[in-house]
Structure formats: structure tokens, C-alpha cells
Structure 1
């Protein structure tokens, strides 16, 4: 069984607005700098430059359920599945991302990942609510 942390943020935007922004890999550097930067598309596949090298990112097919799960194939070839949802929350949206402990990951590394994801979700909120720097 995997150790998981569910992190969430409320965004004062509709689910379709949040979904459209997040599902576009070109927007990753604007809200998820913890993943990396330098996003490029090649033959319909998306890549991001990470501190460890080039990684491929693939979102689940477009849907109306707010499912934004994506797989990141790391430079070492490992596939990391990232569960991500945009859920209706009153007039806004709750974005929920699950951070999972990788095999052999230390407590300190897990906490570092959790902190990075928390910062990314907070930035997503600021960007979509128009309060980003």
C-alpha cells in the first residue's frame, strides 16, 4: 500500500475554466514550476525540462468530469502517475492533487515533494484568480 497525501486548494473560477488551463501542458511553467520549465510539443507529445533532464508528460484524455490525471515519464524512464481532479465547490473549484510516496523515498523527500506541490497549487490559485506576480 502506498503512502499518499491529498492536497487541495479552492479556486474562485469555474471547473471548465480551471480544467482548460490545467490540461494545457503549455501552461505548466506558469503554475507548476516545481515540475520544471521549458515545455515543448513534438509530434503531439509534450515534454518538460526538469532538473534531472527531459521528461514526457501525458494527460488523461479530455473529459467533462474534471479528471486531470497525468503520467510523467522521468529522464530515467520511470513513470509517475499523478492523480489530479478539478471538483465543483460552490461557485468555484476545488483542485485536489495526490502526492504518493515512491518506493524507497525517504520521509524528508516525501515532505519536500508535498511542499513543492503545495506551492504549485497555491500558485495555480493566484494565477487563475489574477493575483500572480
Structure 2
């Protein structure tokens, strides 16, 4: 896949992931709580996590306009998803009542990380693309 297609697919992925983070987390917690919500009964946790992911969703949508200008946000999303997914995997394995998360939010986090990591330019390629974009923006 050439670089232009990769950036185009990255933009699409950022839009899809951003919209899912912005719109879908709370409904998933309601529809499938055993796979998406970590607390039962009253808890402040769901609203807090929805707020965090909705905010991330908005910023991923902004990043989709020009991914090369938002590489640090994209890589934060990749690595925070890996860490969050790894912690939840351990917790799900340690506590039987949370095993359904291994089919719900845990794989979702790893899929987000893999998709973004595969599509996001890194190293010298990213530096070259950012330099070219910066030079192009000059009057």
C-alpha cells in the first residue's frame, strides 16, 4: 500500500474510531454491561469513562483532518489502548465475573491500537512527511 492510500485509510480509521468513542461507549455499557461496564448498580465510573472516551473521540475526529499534525495524539491512542487493554485482560482473568470483557472492550482496545499503529507513519517517514507538509504550507 502506498503512502497516500495509507494516510487516506488512517483518516477513515480516525473518523470511525472517533465516532465510536464519541457515540457508542455508553450505549454498549447499557446493552452489554458484562462486556463493557466494570461496575454494577450505582457507580460514578461509567459516566467518567464515557466522558474521557467522548473527549478522545472529538480529538480523533479533529486529527482526521490532518493526521500528520496529530501524530502524538494518534500514538497516545495506540499506546494507551494497549496499556488499558493489557490491564483489563489481567483483571478479567483474575476475576471470573469480568471474563465477558475478553469478548467486549478488551479486544476493541487492541483492535484500535493495531489499526492505528499499522496505518500511522513513523520514524523517518513521518518526519519527512511532516517536513514536506510544513514546507507546502509556507507562502
Higher helix proportion (structure 1 or 2): 2
Common fold by TM > 0.5: no
Query: TM tier, shorter chain?
Result: 0.3 to 0.5
TM-score (norm 2): 0.32
TM-score (norm 1): 0.33
Higher strand proportion (structure 1 or 2): 1
Rg (Cα) greater in structure: 2
